[in-house]
Amino acid sequence: MGIRMPSFAYGTHTIEVKLGPGGEETVLYDGLMISHKKPYSFGVSHKFSVKEADEKVEYEVKTKPKGGLLGAVTGIGKALAPKVEVLRNGMKINETK
């Protein structure tokens, strides 16, 4: 079982990021898997496009380990849930601290 991160909402849509025990990352859009990458490292980016209200929308979900580069190199940051940033059409709409 992986680490479940907070959900992000934009209008009636939700984006979730799940971190697996093997370091993989999965992004869900409205409950459906839209991107899957592994392993978790310092700066994975998930890009995808969807149609919302007859408009093509580009999303980018970025994950970064807490502790920055030091956390990524030493593994200290991996012990903590990473920072997640969500961009919609290039504009930041949400971010974890």
68 — pLDDT class (breaks 50, 70, 90): low
Q: pLDDT tens digits for 11-60?
A: 999 999 888 877 788 899 999 999 998 765 556 789 999 999 999 999 99
Q: Above 70 in pLDDT, residue 2?
A: no
Q: What is the pLDDT of residue 74?
A: 47
End-to-end CA distance of the chain: 23
pTM above 0.85, yes or no: no
CB 15 within 8 A of CB 86: yes
What token pair was written down for 48? Answer: 């995808």
